Amino acid sequence: EAGVTQFPSHSVIEKGQTVTLRCDPISGHDNLYWYRRVMGKEIKFLLHFVKESKQDESGMPNNRFLAERTGGTYSTLKVQPAELEDSGVYFCASSHTPDRLQETQYFGPGTRLLVL
């Protein structure tokens, strides 16, 4: 079974440009999460999809960030325009909840974003 995949693995852009990150969850997983770690800080939650619906987007930092999950499969996270403080590692995770008490999130390898 393929794990969570993320693309690209690295991205270097200039301030003011746009970047789109992609996450492909494990097949059949309804839950998809985005997290990020900025330099020197802890991993922080950004948002959570259940299928194509945003269940919780309380962690999104501002309106420069837009996440979509059309069709309930893969998801994209777009940053427009990117700022220096957006640099960090963006992780995607997925899970399914046949038993809601036993949910396990599986993480992708992350996308390393550097804004210059």
Partner 1 sequence: DAKTTQPPSMDCAEGRAANLPCNHSTISGNEYVYWYRQIHSQGPQYIIHGLKNNETNEMASLIITEDRKSSTLILPHATLRDTAVYYCIVRVAKEYGNKLVFGAGTILRVKS
Site residues, partner 1 (CB under 8 A): 4, 31, 33, 35, 42-45, 48, 50, 55-56, 59, 91, 93, 95, 97, 100-110
Residues in the chain: 116
In the beta sheet, which residues pair with residue 95? 31
Binning the chain into helix, strand and coil, the percentages to the nearest 5 are 10, 50, 45
Smallest gap from residue 80 Cβ to partner 1 (A): 24
Residue 32 tokens read as: 């998809």
Q: CA-based Rg of the chain, rounded to a whole angstrom? A: 14
Q: Which is nearer to partner 1, 17 or 76 (CB)?
A: 76
The sign of the CA dihedral 19, 25, 29, 32 is negative
Q: Which is nearer to partner 1, 46 or 115 (CB)?
A: 46
Whether 65 contacts 48, CB under 8 Å = no
Q: Which is nearer to partner 1, 55 or 80 (CB)?
A: 55
Smallest gap from residue 27 Cβ to partner 1 (A): 17
- Preceding peptide of 25 cis, ω within 30°: no
Q: Which is nearer to partner 1, 11 or 95 (CB)?
A: 95
Smallest gap from residue 15 Cβ to partner 1 (A): 25
Smallest gap from residue 81 Cβ to partner 1 (A): 27
